[in-house]
Amino acid sequence: MGRLSIFCVLLLFCFACNVDGQHHLSENEKNSYMKLGNRISMEMQNELLSNVAKAIREGGVGYAVEFCHQHALPITDSMANLNKVYIQRLSDKNRNPDNVIQTNADIEAWERVKKEKVDFIIEEEKGKVVYYRPILLAMKTCMQCHGKVEEIKEEALQVIHEKYPEDKATGYELGDLRGMWKLTFADR
C-alpha cells in the first residue's frame, strides 16, 4: 500500500471518529459532569428552598415572594460564581420573565425533561457542556405560591401580581413539573 493510500485511510479514520473537529466527552467525563450538575443543582435548590422557608417563618408568604423577587438571582449568581458555572431556572410557565425558555436547544431539552423527567447533559457545538434537570414541586410549602390561585393567600397573590405582572407560575399540584435547571459549564 502506498504512502498516499495510507495517508487517505488515516485521514478518513480521523474524520469518521471526529467529524466536527471537536473533542467529545468520554463516558467518565459524562459521568463526572452528571454528578457535578446533580450536586450543584441540588445545592442550589436546597439553598433557595431554605431561604424561602426562612422568609415564610419571618414574615409570611407575601414576604417570601418579595424575598424571592429581591434575592433569588443574587443567591443563584453567588452559587454560580462559587462553582464556576452559569445557572438558570427555566420554565414554560415562568414567574420571572428572565426564566422563560427561549433557545431551540432549551426547547428541545424542555420537551425531553417533560417526557422523561430525568437529568441529562448535552455537548454544545462550541465545546460547552450543559446539564439539565427537572424541577418538581415536591413540598407543600411550594404550593403556597405556585398552587391553585384560589388556594394561595391574598397577601401572596398581591405581591405576585405587583412584582410579576405576567406571572404564569400558578395552578400547579404537588409533584408537578415546575421547570428545569440549566447549568452551563465553561469551555473545556
Query: Over the chain, what is the mean pLDDT?
Result: 88
186 band by pLDDT with thresholds 50, 70 and 90: confident
CA pair distance 19, 36, nearest whole angstrom: 28
Three-class SS of residue 165? coil
Please, are residues 149 and 127 in contact by the beta-carbon 8 Å criterion? no
Please, are residues 137 and 172 in contact by the beta-carbon 8 Å criterion? yes
12 band by pLDDT with thresholds 50, 70 and 90: very low
Measured in whole angstroms, the distance separating CA 33 from the mean position of its chain's CA atoms is 14
**Listed range (6-15, 42-51, 165-174) with the worst mean pLDDT:** 6-15
CA pair distance 90, 101, nearest whole angstrom: 6
CA pair distance 172, 148, nearest whole angstrom: 6
- Residue 36 is predicted with a pLDDT of 97
> 96-152 pLDDT, tens per residue?
999 999 999 999 999 999 999 999 999 987 779 999 999 999 889 899 999 999 999
Longest CA–CA span in the chain (Å) reads: 82
> 35-51 pLDDT, tens per residue?
999 999 999 999 999 99
DSSP line for 42-101? HHHHHHHHHHHHHHHHHHHHHHHHHHHHHHHHHHHHHHHHHHTEEEEEEBSS-SSGGGB-
1 band by pLDDT with thresholds 50, 70 and 90: low
Question: What number of other Cβ atoms are within 10 A of residue 95's Cβ?
Answer: 25
- Residue 9 is predicted with a pLDDT of 38
- Residue 21 is predicted with a pLDDT of 53
CA pair distance 132, 110, nearest whole angstrom: 9
